[in-house]
Homo-oligomer: A and B are copies of this chain.
Amino acid sequence: MSLKALLDTLPIPILQAPMLGVSDHRLALAVSEAGGMGAFAGAGLAGADLGPAIAALKAQTERPFNVNLLITRPVAPGQDEIDLALARLAPWYAQSGAPLPEIPNQYAPDFEGQFSALIQAAPPVASFAFDVLTAAQVAALQAAGTYVIGTATTVAEAKAWAEVGADGVCAQGYEAGGHRGHFLADVGASLVGLLPLVATIRAVIDLPVIAAGGIMDGRGVAAVLALGASAAQMGTAFLLSDQATTSSPWRQALAAAPDEATRLTRAFTGRHARGLENRFMREMRSDEDLVPAYPVQNRLTQPLRAASTAAGDPEQISLWAGQGARLAATGDAGARVLRWWEEAKAASSQLSARLG
Protein backbone atom coordinates (compact mmCIF):
# COMPACT_ATOMS: atom_id res chain seq x y z
CA MET A 1 0.00 0.00 0.00
CA SER A 2 1.05 3.59 -0.54
CA LEU A 3 -0.49 6.91 0.35
CA LYS A 4 -1.31 7.29 -3.32
CA ALA A 5 -3.20 4.00 -3.29
CA LEU A 6 -4.94 4.96 -0.06
CA LEU A 7 -6.11 8.27 -1.54
CA ASP A 8 -7.02 6.69 -4.89
CA THR A 9 -9.22 4.15 -3.13
CA LEU A 10 -10.82 6.44 -0.57
CA PRO A 11 -14.54 6.30 -1.29
CA ILE A 12 -14.45 10.10 -1.38
CA PRO A 13 -11.12 11.91 -1.84
CA ILE A 14 -12.07 14.77 0.44
CA LEU A 15 -9.77 15.40 3.38
CA GLN A 16 -10.90 17.52 6.26
CA ALA A 17 -8.28 20.13 7.08
CA PRO A 18 -6.79 19.81 10.56
CA MET A 19 -8.08 22.96 12.22
CA LEU A 20 -6.63 23.44 15.66
CA GLY A 21 -9.39 24.40 18.05
CA VAL A 22 -12.14 23.41 15.66
CA SER A 23 -11.67 19.80 14.70
CA ASP A 24 -11.98 17.39 17.57
CA HIS A 25 -12.93 13.72 17.35
CA ARG A 26 -16.49 14.34 16.27
CA LEU A 27 -15.66 16.20 13.09
CA ALA A 28 -12.84 13.81 12.17
CA LEU A 29 -15.07 10.79 12.69
CA ALA A 30 -17.97 12.26 10.74
CA VAL A 31 -15.75 12.90 7.72
CA SER A 32 -13.93 9.56 7.86
CA GLU A 33 -17.12 7.59 8.36
CA ALA A 34 -18.72 9.35 5.39
CA GLY A 35 -15.91 8.05 3.20
CA GLY A 36 -13.54 10.99 3.25
CA MET A 37 -10.63 11.39 5.62
CA GLY A 38 -11.03 13.31 8.84
CA ALA A 39 -8.22 15.00 10.69
CA PHE A 40 -7.43 15.48 14.34
CA ALA A 41 -5.43 18.61 15.11
CA GLY A 42 -3.04 17.37 17.79
CA ALA A 43 -0.78 20.40 18.07
CA GLY A 44 -2.40 21.71 21.22
CA LEU A 45 -1.84 18.54 23.22
CA ALA A 46 1.26 17.53 25.15
CA GLY A 47 2.71 14.16 24.18
CA ALA A 48 1.20 12.50 27.24
CA ASP A 49 -2.30 13.49 26.11
CA LEU A 50 -1.79 13.00 22.40
CA GLY A 51 -1.27 9.23 22.57
CA PRO A 52 -4.56 8.49 24.34
CA ALA A 53 -6.41 10.90 22.03
CA ILE A 54 -5.18 9.04 18.97
CA ALA A 55 -5.89 5.68 20.56
CA ALA A 56 -9.45 6.80 21.26
CA LEU A 57 -9.92 7.78 17.63
CA LYS A 58 -8.51 4.46 16.46
CA ALA A 59 -10.93 2.67 18.72
CA GLN A 60 -13.86 4.54 17.20
CA THR A 61 -13.27 3.97 13.51
CA GLU A 62 -11.86 1.48 11.06
CA ARG A 63 -11.54 4.23 8.50
CA PRO A 64 -8.27 6.09 7.88
CA PHE A 65 -7.76 9.43 9.56
CA ASN A 66 -5.00 12.01 9.81
CA VAL A 67 -3.30 13.49 12.85
CA ASN A 68 -1.73 16.89 12.32
CA LEU A 69 1.17 18.40 14.23
CA LEU A 70 2.87 21.77 13.92
CA ILE A 71 6.65 21.56 13.88
CA THR A 72 7.99 24.00 16.45
CA ARG A 73 11.17 24.35 18.46
CA PRO A 74 11.41 25.30 22.13
CA VAL A 75 11.61 29.06 22.52
CA ALA A 76 12.94 31.19 25.35
CA PRO A 77 12.03 34.80 24.60
CA GLY A 78 13.77 37.52 26.56
CA GLN A 79 11.97 39.43 29.28
CA ASP A 80 12.17 42.64 27.23
CA GLU A 81 10.45 41.06 24.25
CA ILE A 82 7.67 39.72 26.45
CA ASP A 83 7.23 43.00 28.31
CA LEU A 84 6.93 44.86 25.02
CA ALA A 85 4.50 42.31 23.61
CA LEU A 86 2.33 42.46 26.72
CA ALA A 87 2.41 46.27 26.74
CA ARG A 88 1.11 46.17 23.19
CA LEU A 89 -1.68 43.82 24.22
CA ALA A 90 -2.53 45.57 27.49
CA PRO A 91 -5.24 47.89 26.07
CA TRP A 92 -6.89 44.89 24.43
CA TYR A 93 -6.83 42.89 27.63
CA ALA A 94 -8.16 45.89 29.55
CA GLN A 95 -11.05 46.17 27.15
CA SER A 96 -11.85 42.47 27.38
CA GLY A 97 -11.83 42.54 31.17
CA ALA A 98 -9.37 39.64 31.33
CA PRO A 99 -6.10 40.03 33.25
CA LEU A 100 -2.82 40.14 31.35
CA PRO A 101 -1.46 36.59 31.17
CA GLU A 102 1.27 35.36 33.47
CA ILE A 103 4.48 34.46 31.68
CA PRO A 104 4.17 30.74 31.00
CA ASN A 105 6.91 28.15 31.48
CA GLN A 106 6.24 26.83 28.03
CA TYR A 107 4.77 28.57 25.00
CA ALA A 108 3.71 25.44 23.14
CA PRO A 109 3.71 21.70 23.87
CA ASP A 110 7.12 20.16 23.29
CA PHE A 111 7.25 18.90 19.71
CA GLU A 112 9.72 16.10 20.44
CA GLY A 113 7.34 14.74 23.06
CA GLN A 114 4.42 14.98 20.66
CA PHE A 115 6.40 13.27 17.94
CA SER A 116 7.35 10.32 20.18
CA ALA A 117 3.73 9.91 21.19
CA LEU A 118 2.70 10.03 17.54
CA ILE A 119 5.06 7.20 16.60
CA GLN A 120 3.77 5.16 19.54
CA ALA A 121 0.15 5.76 18.61
CA ALA A 122 0.79 5.22 14.88
CA PRO A 123 -2.26 6.80 13.25
CA PRO A 124 -2.91 5.82 9.62
CA VAL A 125 -1.74 9.23 8.38
CA ALA A 126 0.13 12.12 9.96
CA SER A 127 0.52 15.57 8.46
CA PHE A 128 2.86 18.39 9.40
CA ALA A 129 3.18 22.10 8.87
CA PHE A 130 5.47 25.06 9.69
CA ASP A 131 8.71 23.17 8.89
CA VAL A 132 10.02 19.90 7.47
CA LEU A 133 10.86 16.71 9.36
CA THR A 134 14.22 14.99 9.08
CA ALA A 135 14.53 11.91 6.87
CA ALA A 136 15.02 9.85 10.04
CA GLN A 137 11.77 11.17 11.55
CA VAL A 138 9.86 10.39 8.36
CA ALA A 139 11.35 6.90 8.23
CA ALA A 140 10.45 6.29 11.89
CA LEU A 141 6.81 7.21 11.27
CA GLN A 142 6.66 5.07 8.15
CA ALA A 143 8.18 2.15 10.05
CA ALA A 144 5.36 2.54 12.58
CA GLY A 145 2.83 2.26 9.76
CA THR A 146 1.98 5.92 9.33
CA TYR A 147 1.93 7.76 6.01
CA VAL A 148 3.55 11.18 6.16
CA ILE A 149 2.13 14.29 4.48
CA GLY A 150 4.07 17.55 4.49
CA THR A 151 2.53 20.97 3.96
CA ALA A 152 4.08 23.06 1.19
CA THR A 153 3.30 26.59 0.05
CA THR A 154 5.99 26.68 -2.65
CA VAL A 155 7.69 24.29 -5.05
CA ALA A 156 10.88 24.40 -2.97
CA GLU A 157 8.95 23.30 0.13
CA ALA A 158 7.36 20.43 -1.78
CA LYS A 159 10.82 19.38 -2.92
CA ALA A 160 12.10 19.56 0.65
CA TRP A 161 9.36 17.15 1.75
CA ALA A 162 10.06 14.87 -1.20
CA GLU A 163 13.75 14.82 -0.27
CA VAL A 164 13.11 13.61 3.28
CA GLY A 165 10.92 10.82 1.93
CA ALA A 166 7.39 12.09 2.64
CA ASP A 167 4.53 10.06 1.16
CA GLY A 168 2.64 13.07 -0.09
CA VAL A 169 2.44 16.84 -0.12
CA CYS A 170 -0.42 19.09 0.92
CA ALA A 171 -0.24 22.11 -1.39
CA GLN A 172 -1.58 25.04 0.61
CA GLY A 173 -2.82 27.74 -1.74
CA TYR A 174 -2.86 31.47 -1.01
CA GLU A 175 -6.63 31.17 -0.58
CA ALA A 176 -6.48 28.91 2.47
CA GLY A 177 -7.75 29.95 5.88
CA GLY A 178 -5.74 29.73 9.09
CA HIS A 179 -1.99 29.63 9.44
CA ARG A 180 0.30 29.76 6.44
CA GLY A 181 2.67 26.81 6.41
CA HIS A 182 5.67 28.52 4.75
CA PHE A 183 9.07 27.59 6.16
CA LEU A 184 11.70 28.31 3.51
CA ALA A 185 10.99 31.75 2.08
CA ASP A 186 9.22 34.66 3.72
CA VAL A 187 5.45 34.89 3.55
CA GLY A 188 5.44 37.33 0.63
CA ALA A 189 7.32 34.81 -1.50
CA SER A 190 5.04 31.96 -0.40
CA LEU A 191 1.59 33.08 -1.51
CA VAL A 192 0.76 31.11 -4.64
CA GLY A 193 -2.80 30.59 -5.82
CA LEU A 194 -3.90 26.94 -5.63
CA LEU A 195 -4.13 26.37 -9.38
CA PRO A 196 -0.55 27.33 -10.27
CA LEU A 197 0.74 25.89 -6.98
CA VAL A 198 -0.59 22.40 -7.75
CA ALA A 199 0.50 22.65 -11.39
CA THR A 200 4.06 23.75 -10.59
CA ILE A 201 4.49 21.19 -7.80
CA ARG A 202 3.15 18.36 -9.95
CA ALA A 203 5.58 19.35 -12.69
CA VAL A 204 8.60 18.61 -10.52
CA ILE A 205 7.77 16.02 -7.87
CA ASP A 206 6.27 12.59 -8.25
CA LEU A 207 4.21 12.35 -5.05
CA PRO A 208 0.46 12.56 -4.53
CA VAL A 209 -0.59 16.16 -4.05
CA ILE A 210 -3.47 17.14 -1.78
CA ALA A 211 -4.91 20.49 -2.83
CA ALA A 212 -5.95 22.93 -0.09
CA GLY A 213 -7.31 26.46 -0.29
CA GLY A 214 -10.60 27.93 -1.43
CA ILE A 215 -12.35 24.62 -2.17
CA MET A 216 -15.91 25.09 -0.95
CA ASP A 217 -18.10 22.57 -2.78
CA GLY A 218 -18.17 19.60 -5.12
CA ARG A 219 -17.29 21.72 -8.13
CA GLY A 220 -14.11 22.77 -6.36
CA VAL A 221 -13.36 19.13 -5.53
CA ALA A 222 -13.80 18.14 -9.18
CA ALA A 223 -11.64 21.08 -10.24
CA VAL A 224 -8.61 20.11 -8.17
CA LEU A 225 -8.94 16.44 -9.12
CA ALA A 226 -9.01 17.49 -12.79
CA LEU A 227 -5.90 19.53 -12.05
CA GLY A 228 -4.17 16.35 -10.99
CA ALA A 229 -4.50 16.48 -7.23
CA SER A 230 -5.11 13.11 -5.52
CA ALA A 231 -7.50 14.68 -3.04
CA ALA A 232 -9.11 17.94 -2.01
CA GLN A 233 -8.59 19.24 1.50
CA MET A 234 -11.38 21.42 2.86
CA GLY A 235 -11.37 23.41 6.08
CA THR A 236 -13.44 26.58 5.91
CA ALA A 237 -16.18 24.57 4.23
CA PHE A 238 -16.62 22.64 7.51
CA LEU A 239 -16.50 25.60 9.91
CA LEU A 240 -20.26 25.96 10.16
CA SER A 241 -20.95 22.22 10.24
CA ASP A 242 -22.70 20.64 13.21
CA GLN A 243 -19.61 18.75 14.32
CA ALA A 244 -17.14 21.66 14.18
CA THR A 245 -16.41 23.26 17.55
CA THR A 246 -16.29 26.70 15.93
CA SER A 247 -17.27 29.21 18.62
CA SER A 248 -20.55 31.03 18.52
CA PRO A 249 -19.14 34.51 17.73
CA TRP A 250 -16.92 32.96 15.05
CA ARG A 251 -19.93 31.22 13.50
CA GLN A 252 -21.92 34.43 13.57
CA ALA A 253 -19.11 36.42 11.98
CA LEU A 254 -18.73 33.78 9.28
CA ALA A 255 -22.43 33.61 8.52
CA ALA A 256 -22.57 37.40 8.23
CA ALA A 257 -19.28 37.87 6.37
CA PRO A 258 -19.38 40.04 3.27
CA ASP A 259 -17.47 39.05 0.12
CA GLU A 260 -13.67 39.24 0.22
CA ALA A 261 -13.72 39.60 4.01
CA THR A 262 -10.50 37.74 4.78
CA ARG A 263 -6.98 39.12 5.15
CA LEU A 264 -3.62 37.80 6.24
CA THR A 265 -2.44 38.83 9.68
CA ARG A 266 0.54 38.10 11.89
CA ALA A 267 -0.89 39.94 14.89
CA PHE A 268 -2.73 37.12 16.65
CA THR A 269 -0.04 34.46 16.73
CA GLY A 270 3.27 35.71 15.36
CA ARG A 271 2.78 33.67 12.20
CA HIS A 272 0.81 34.81 9.18
CA ALA A 273 -2.68 33.40 8.98
CA ARG A 274 -5.84 34.18 7.03
CA GLY A 275 -9.05 35.14 8.75
CA LEU A 276 -12.06 37.43 8.63
CA GLU A 277 -10.74 40.91 9.19
CA ASN A 278 -11.78 42.42 12.50
CA ARG A 279 -10.80 45.32 14.73
CA PHE A 280 -7.81 43.54 16.29
CA MET A 281 -6.38 42.79 12.84
CA ARG A 282 -6.98 46.31 11.58
CA GLU A 283 -5.63 48.14 14.59
CA MET A 284 -2.62 45.84 15.06
CA ARG A 285 -1.74 46.07 11.35
CA SER A 286 1.05 48.59 11.79
CA ASP A 287 2.64 46.56 14.63
CA GLU A 288 2.12 43.07 13.30
CA ASP A 289 5.67 42.61 12.07
CA LEU A 290 6.94 43.52 15.53
CA VAL A 291 5.08 40.96 17.65
CA PRO A 292 7.03 37.91 18.90
CA ALA A 293 7.20 34.97 16.52
CA TYR A 294 4.94 31.94 16.89
CA PRO A 295 4.31 30.32 19.33
CA VAL A 296 5.03 33.19 21.74
CA GLN A 297 2.46 35.72 20.48
CA ASN A 298 -0.03 32.88 20.02
CA ARG A 299 0.28 31.98 23.69
CA LEU A 300 0.16 35.61 24.84
CA THR A 301 -3.10 36.30 23.01
CA GLN A 302 -4.84 33.05 23.95
CA PRO A 303 -6.50 34.36 27.13
CA LEU A 304 -7.60 37.49 25.26
CA ARG A 305 -9.21 35.41 22.55
CA ALA A 306 -10.79 33.09 25.11
CA ALA A 307 -12.26 35.99 27.06
CA SER A 308 -13.57 37.64 23.90
CA THR A 309 -15.07 34.37 22.75
CA ALA A 310 -16.78 33.92 26.10
CA ALA A 311 -18.10 37.49 25.87
CA GLY A 312 -19.35 36.91 22.33
CA ASP A 313 -17.15 39.69 20.95
CA PRO A 314 -15.81 38.77 17.48
CA GLU A 315 -13.47 41.76 17.26
CA GLN A 316 -10.64 40.24 19.32
CA ILE A 317 -10.86 36.63 18.17
CA SER A 318 -8.86 34.94 15.44
CA LEU A 319 -11.69 34.28 12.98
CA TRP A 320 -9.66 32.00 10.71
CA ALA A 321 -11.30 31.46 7.35
CA GLY A 322 -10.27 31.05 3.72
CA GLN A 323 -11.23 33.17 0.73
CA GLY A 324 -14.33 31.09 0.05
CA ALA A 325 -15.72 31.93 3.51
CA ARG A 326 -19.01 33.17 2.12
CA LEU A 327 -19.80 29.68 0.86
CA ALA A 328 -19.34 27.84 4.17
CA ALA A 329 -22.21 25.40 4.59
CA THR A 330 -24.20 24.43 7.64
CA GLY A 331 -25.49 21.00 8.62
CA ASP A 332 -24.08 17.55 9.25
CA ALA A 333 -20.45 17.25 8.13
CA GLY A 334 -20.82 13.69 6.89
CA ALA A 335 -23.91 14.54 4.86
CA ARG A 336 -22.01 17.47 3.37
CA VAL A 337 -19.16 15.22 2.28
CA LEU A 338 -21.63 12.94 0.51
CA ARG A 339 -23.34 15.91 -1.11
CA TRP A 340 -20.07 17.45 -2.29
CA TRP A 341 -19.21 14.13 -3.87
CA GLU A 342 -22.52 14.10 -5.73
CA GLU A 343 -21.82 17.66 -6.86
CA ALA A 344 -18.37 16.60 -8.03
CA LYS A 345 -19.92 13.79 -10.06
CA ALA A 346 -22.36 16.20 -11.66
CA ALA A 347 -19.51 18.59 -12.47
CA SER A 348 -17.54 15.74 -14.01
CA SER A 349 -20.50 14.70 -16.16
CA GLN A 350 -20.92 18.25 -17.42
CA LEU A 351 -17.22 18.46 -18.11
CA SER A 352 -17.29 15.20 -20.08
CA ALA A 353 -20.21 16.48 -22.11
CA ARG A 354 -18.42 19.75 -22.92
CA LEU A 355 -15.23 17.95 -23.91
CA GLY A 356 -17.15 15.71 -26.28
Contact = CB atoms under 8 A, between A and B. Distances in A.
Interface of A: 8, 13, 154-156, 173-175, 185, 188-190, 192-197, 199-200, 203, 213-217, 219-220, 222-228, 259-260, 263, 322-324, 326-327, 341, 344-345, 347-352, 354-356
Given A155-B326, A196-B214, 13 more contacts: A8-B354, A154-B259, A189-B260, A193-B214, A194-B194, A196-B322, A196-B323, A199-B217, A199-B324, A200-B259, A200-B327, A222-B355, A225-B226
A196 B225 contact: no
Given A259-B156, A348-B352, A196 B216 contact: yes
Contacts of A220: 195, 199, 227
25 contacts: A155-B260, A156-B260, A174-B174, A175-B193, A185-B260, A192-B323, A193-B213, A194-B194, A195-B214, A195-B220, A195-B223, A195-B224, A195-B324, A196-B323, A199-B219, A200-B324, A219-B227, A222-B227, A222-B351, A225-B354, A226-B347, A227-B347, A345-B356, A348-B348, A348-B351
Contact of A195 (B185, B194, B349, B351): B194
- Number of identical protomers: 2
B351 A355 contact: no
Contacts of A326: 155, 200, 203
A223 B226 CA distance: 5
Given A175-B196, A194-B193, A195-B215, A327 B223 contact: no
Contacts of A192: 175, 260, 323
A341 B197 CA distance: 21
A224 to B, nearest CB: 7
A173 B200 contact: no
A189 to B, nearest CB: 6
A63 B8 CA distance: 41
Nearest to A261: B189
A214 B191 CA distance: 13
Contacts of A155: 259-260, 326
A326 B345 CA distance: 32
Contacts of A341: 355
A104 B62 CA distance: 73
A227 B216 contact: no
Contacts of A259: 154-156, 200
A278 B130 CA distance: 28
A352 B194 CA distance: 22
A234 to B, nearest CB: 11
B214 A199 contact: yes
B154 A173 contact: no
A356 B322 CA distance: 30
A259 B196 CA distance: 10
Nearest to A8: B354
A155 to B, nearest CB: 4
A190 B259 CA distance: 10
Contacts of A185: 260
